[in-house]
Chains A and B, each alone.
Chain A
């Protein structure tokens, strides 16, 4: 968890480094938000990319010719050109699925994602396919942080290379983002995850969202989750996470390769709607959610107003 406070300090440093930043930080919302003015924040997201750098082959039974990194890059640039405040996230399983991964070990995927301007990603189970060393050796090619709140890597070679969460500021809006991974035991060979300690995802989420809201006064809390959308058996999924948390607003899911036609709205413990989205796999779809913020105060503990997904 040490990474969190350091990250936080970094944000302070960045503000202070800008000179007279203390005043700036406080006055930003006032100057950015005129009376009745809305600020738009666009979150773009992908999951389970699985090294699909090229579009799907022409002769495959489904999704032939679809996807592809160069088209995704163009789409993202297009969105950035038309709207100012954009955040771009990935919910894990970047590795594995085409020979690009087998030959280039993740380096190429990370470099292209960096070019696209990804802001953060979380680690999926397939990131462990070449063991912890397979993650450690490639992370230097990613110009964006990996957010992992419930994989405790402190006893591994990945110690200090990921952070549990990060705060992003866009157009006066403060977005807190944390990452959650799926249980590795039984899913990933033991030698591949070594001494990674798995922390309970729900307890971790409750802790993260509390810190992000109460200590950092974030306006929006996002979870990058590789837990999976839902299960028949008793296993923590995005749906359960949404229902059993208090402050998380938006869960960007992965792992189960679920193609949601539109995001789900699930009532959380305080009766507030949580958005859950997941966009299949292979870079076939880019999820886009636009949030419009008004100046009105967000009630920290019991904001029972419902979001309407239009």
Chain B
């Protein structure tokens, strides 16, 4: 960076001077070493009790950026009849999001990859950062829900690989899934089903998830070795915003119920 530029070239010229300086420094060994004799601290909270007026110059720089953002962020996409909270083994939030991703990915396939169908969607719990509120759902909520710039990825998996992945999700106490159903017992998946049928080790399935998960994020090492993968070039968040905007235009409000797709098996 700017710290380094120009110094490399000229460094040799200064060698004699540096040597002289080193001699001078070492001649006074005690002078340049200081001792800490006392330490004080205050962790200063920027809360309402702190008497500090916002810096006017900085405030004036931030203001136009804030205005631009609030316009974009304030767009109401649709309404929700319920607040969607995350949780495990399943939750309104994870179920809704995974269903949305599977549905939208299938329509991406319809347009771009004829004949291909997405069987399973996985949206990791940890990637959904806040609940979706009841009432108006704005662009802002989508940015808060998924701040990361993750992209959608399709992976072609054998039934055996899918079984391994479902077991992995079971070991994490459940994840956001769509198109599958399984119980969790002793950290393992019980009776996994895909599209209403028992999981078949000999079949192949298409999974949609994020590029983060597909590259082994959140411990999904098992997905790293899947060779056949398609990046359709769609951001997760954009997929959500488009979907909710469509719902809003059709006058459809979000309304979801739990359906036991992931359950604790006793």
Contact = CB atoms under 8 A, between A and B. Distances in A.
Interface of A: 3, 6-7, 9-10, 12-13, 15-16, 22-23, 25-26, 29-30, 33, 38-39, 53-55, 63, 65-75, 77-78, 96-104, 108, 112, 115-116, 129-130, 139, 145, 160-163, 172-174, 186, 189-191, 217, 219-220, 249, 260-263, 275, 277, 279, 283-298, 300, 303, 305, 307-310
B140 A66 contact: no
A66 B46 contact: yes
A143 to B, nearest CB: 8
A277 B36 contact: no
B54 to A, nearest CB: 4
Contacts of B31: 26, 29-30
A16 B14 contact: yes
Contacts of A98: 143, 147
27 contacts: A6-B7, A6-B8, A7-B3, A7-B4, A12-B17, A22-B20, A22-B21, A26-B27, A38-B38, A66-B46, A70-B59, A71-B50, A77-B55, A102-B147, A103-B68, A129-B148, A160-B1, A189-B211, A217-B33, A219-B36, A277-B41, A284-B45, A284-B46, A288-B44, A290-B39, A291-B39, A307-B38
A53 B1 CA distance: 25
Between B17, B25, B59, B149, the greatest number of chain A beta carbons within 10 A of the residue's beta carbon is seen for B149
Contact of A308 (B3, B38, B48, B66): B38
Given A6-B8, A75-B50, A99-B69, A145 B38 contact: no
Between A6, A30, A55, A104, the greatest number of chain B beta carbons within 10 A of the residue's beta carbon is seen for A6
Interface residues of B, number: 63
Interface of B: 1, 3-4, 7-8, 10-11, 14, 17-18, 20-21, 24-25, 27-28, 30-48, 50, 52-59, 61-62, 65-66, 68-69, 72-73, 140, 143, 147-149, 211-212, 215-217, 219
Between B24, B34, B216, the greatest number of chain A beta carbons within 10 A of the residue's beta carbon is seen for B34
A300 B33 contact: yes
Given A145-B1, A161-B1, A74 B7 contact: no
